[in-house]
Amino acid sequence: MFFFVLGFNLGLTLFNCFLVWKLWQLRRILGRVTKILNRVERRLHHIFYPAPEYILIAGAKTYYLRQNYQRLCGQIQILQSLFLTFSLIIRYWQR
């Protein structure tokens, strides 16, 4: 009985040592992952920090571009009607 208890305690101690070793390895891995993720977060923050300002600027430029496009579409329609009128006048004049 004594040897059984001694062997069981020794086995339990070895298992606990193995478990501590694995947990220590996991802690080291998680520490490295934490450092990498912190670096990535800092770089992404540095990249995307000015993004809202650029989005607002792009929105304003898009608004002005749409206004100019609508104005130009109106001018093109006027020019098309003028060319159509001139072509009809030239055809009528040639007859």
pLDDT in tens, 19-57: 999 999 999 999 999 999 999 999 999 999 988 899 999
Report CA-CA distances (Å) from 41 to 9, 51, 63, 86: 47, 15, 33, 65
Using 50, 70 and 90 to split pLDDT, how confident is the model at 3? Answer: confident
Task: Give the residue among 26, 3, 27, 23 at the shortest CA–CA distance from 15.
Answer: 23
Q: What is the pLDDT of residue 7?
A: 92
- CA-CA distance, 29 to 94, in Å (whole number)? 90
pLDDT in tens, 47-88: 999 888 999 999 999 999 999 999 999 999 999 999 999 988
